[in-house]
Amino acid sequence: MSIYTKVFGDPNKKAIAKMQPNVEKINDLESAFEALGTDELKGKTAEFKSRLEKGETLDDILPEAFATVREAAKRTMGMRHYDVQLMGGMVLHHGNIAEMRTGEGKTLTATLPVYLNALAGRGVHVVTVNDYLAKRDAVWMGQIYDFLGLTLGIIQNQRVTFVYDASVKGTQEGESLDEERDETGSFHIEEAFLRPASRKEAYHCDIVYGTNNEFGFDYLRDNMVQSLGDMVMRPGSEMVYAIIDEVDSILIDEARTPLIISAPAEKAADQYYQFAAHVRNLSAQTDFNVDEKMRSATLTEEGIAKFEKWLGVENIYVEAGVRTVHHIEQALKAEMLFKRDKDYIVDNGEIIIIDEFTGRKMPGRRYSEGLHQAIEAKENVNIQNESQTLATITFQNLFRMYEKISGMTGTAKTEEEELFKIYQLEVIVLPTNKSDARVDLSDRIYKNNKGKYKAIVEKIKECRETGQPILIGTASVEKNEELSMYLSGQGIQHEALNAKNHEREGEIVAQAGRPGAVTLATNMAGRGVDIKLGGNPVDKDEEKQVIDAGGLFVLGTERHESRRIDNQLRGRSARQGDPGMTQFFVSTEDDLMRIFAGDRMKNVMERLNVPEDMPIEQKMITKMLESAQKKVEGHHFDTRKHVLQYDDVLNRHRSVIYSRRKKILELAESMNGGNPTTPPQSSPYKGEEADIDVEEENFASLKDMVMDLIEAEIEHVVSYHT
């Protein structure tokens, strides 16, 4: 306990105690709301909107609005918000982060502040980490919003867009699917209640579900349009309130990489293939140095001399240019630091980046500065044109533009300092609805991967004998497939989930909690995945069998660079008071061990002549791993700070340019035919003189604004060259 806590008390406990009176008010209203007829309950939405127009605030109507959502959820889904979920809703409404354990119902919790804030009529954005969760959660929770008369839009990658419409399948089929949705969580009937729509229609709904990438790209695109009519976000209220699911993933993990809209620039140089072939003939340490901790690869003097010989030049910097050296080093980086089926996959002749934190494909995303072209050359696929950046923004500055943001996650406390410093978000850790029954066992460290795999097989056999399901987390597609082949060779039936078969995600996860089930998964299974004991839909007999066997056993096959990713994997076990166990099996050949402590650890095990399948279980080693993770996290924090410092400078320019650009479009729209280049003509009709005066004034304003921008640019060019 810190000195601050001793003197001033636990701020987390104080925050929870402060919410208790409102929880009691909502509970007191429950019986009265249960007695309301369907039309009376639905009519609450119009009543609340009217009261807001008359001067009441969202805080004033919060208890009644939350009671309305709770009753609507009971009638449409057969689900009731627990007290801790009511607290979570309040935390989110007040613009903070609710840390809730896995299985505590974050998705249902979000419906409370979403409904309340949507009543203001300015739109609410619900931000998720991937398209699958955006669509799943929207279809699942959409029945509550639809019942209460609110509209719901869903924006997806590749400009795919939907609007929630319960009438799509008709009354009879819709009722049947509705029952299935309530039972399964809608994982395989996602589009049954959705109607394709335009992007603009979705954004003009009361509530919009989508990913952080899509909201960001749509903001950038809206500031590149040629007319106001082409903008898709709500004019004047583009960014009012956002609730971010898995908030640490979006605001921390993904904050290192800015969003970039680019266009093809020049044709990619044919030298990429040539450089890719040459770097394979270089010798490590003699011709180049690799620093895996810093993710860098550089040529030595010997390496540069070899390239000068291959290129037939005496001085590569003078005769070939720094640009050529840059492309050579990008080819070296692609060869030595970027691994197929770990950092990217090759899909139909295209390089698709894999998100290191979520394990999912990121179609349309490309590495910058020629690195993507270097990887394309390495894999001998068609090299796409180099690109030119048209618009860019970091997630830090994107979400700081919202009037209010809040978030949910199971793992934010370790990053609360950064979340408060950059976003002014406080982390409130909520109690669990039921006591936590999860047992986290100490790490087992093995001499090599072969010994680790043998131990994994033995653990699987042990679990299957008792009927205990086991979820095995792997760090990459490559390791996932490697372990899958090994298990197949041992005659062990299993399911494997990774970025290559993501379309089967819902189906695989649904059965991962059945007795004796063996499921391999990358980080895809770490967030937003709720594994129900007994399968989905739940078989009561099988559920009891799994509980008696000890619940879901989660086995991590190596430590991730981030402790939160490990904690997310652990969090798949022991949901809502169920039993469960977790453990990590690691080896000295794992990336984290090899880069930070592998040689020392391996040498110790070899000196002691430790058999490859004999584990070492010591808290000292676990602490050493956590220390390595903290170092990596510290490095990433520094990277994010530098990215933000750079973008803060750009952000001031971006804000001015975007606001002036929008003003120009508004002035152009107000003129005759929307043509800003032609002054308005005099009208022969006396009654139109006032309109002409306004148009002439608009034209003069537009002309002055454009001239100001041109003069500022000329001054900048002159000052730069003098």
Domain annotation covers residue 4 = no
How are beta strands 152-155 and 161-164 bridged, if at all?
A: antiparallel
With 90 as the cut, is the pLDDT of residue 283 above it? yes
Do 277 and 366 have their domain in common?
yes
pLDDT of residue 599: 65
Query: What value does the mean pLDDT take over residues 66-75?
Result: 98
Do 349 and 410 have their domain in common?
no
Do 420 and 442 have their domain in common?
no
Tokens representing residue 623 in the block: 């602490």
Tokens representing residue 446 in the block: 């093995």
With 70 as the cut, is the pLDDT of residue 428 above it? yes
User: How many other CB atoms sit within 10 Å of the CB of residue 352?
Assistant: 17
Q: Identify the residue with better confidence: 29 or 234.
A: 29
Do 347 and 445 have their domain in common?
no
Domain annotation covers residue 630 = no
Do 217 and 359 have their domain in common?
no
Q: What is d(CA 137, CA 271) in angstroms, rounded to the nearest whole number?
A: 47
218-260 pLDDT, tens digit per residue, is 999 999 999 999 999 998 788 999 999 999 989 998 887 789 8
684-696 pLDDT, tens digit per residue, is 334 444 444 555 5
Which amino acid makes up residue 476? Answer: S
Do 112 and 181 have their domain in common?
yes
Do 554 and 586 have their domain in common?
yes
Domain annotation covers residue 623 = no
How many domains does one find in the chain? Answer: 4
With 50 as the cut, is the pLDDT of residue 676 above it? no
Give 5's pLDDT tier (boundaries 50, 70, 90): low
Domain of 364, CATH number, reads 3.90.1440.10
This prediction's pTM:
0.81
Do 570 and 503 have their domain in common?
yes
Domain annotation covers residue 625 = no
Q: Identify the residue with better confidence: 289 or 626.
A: 289
- CB-hemisphere CA count at 13 Å for 472? 28
Terminal C-alpha separation, the chain: 60
Q: Identify the residue with better confidence: 696 or 131.
A: 131
Domain of 189, CATH number, reads 3.40.50.300
Asked if the peptide bond before residue 537 counts as cis, ω within 30 degrees of 0, the response is: yes
Q: Identify the residue with better confidence: 614 or 18.
A: 18
Query: What value does the mean pLDDT take over residues 701-712?
Result: 68
Domain annotation covers residue 25 = yes
Q: What DSSP assignment string belongs to 106-121?
A: HHHHHHHHHHHHHTTS
The average confidence (pLDDT) of the chain is 86
Q: Rounded to the nearest 10 degrees, how much is the dihedral formed by the CA atoms of 136, 139, 143, 146?
A: 130
Do 375 and 419 have their domain in common?
no
Domain annotation covers residue 715 = yes
pLDDT of residue 270: 76
Question: Could you list the residue range(s) of the whole structural domain that residue 452 is in?
Answer: 437-617
pLDDT of residue 439: 93
Do 234 and 278 have their domain in common?
no
* Lowest pLDDT segment from 173-177, 287-291, 415-419: 173-177
Do 536 and 681 have their domain in common?
no
Domain annotation covers residue 479 = yes
Q: Name the burial class of residue 53, with classes exposed (0-12), middle (13-18) and buried (19+) by CB atoms within 10 angstroms of its CB.
A: exposed
Query: What value does the mean pLDDT take over residues 406-428?
Result: 90
Do 444 and 521 have their domain in common?
yes
Domain annotation covers residue 514 = yes
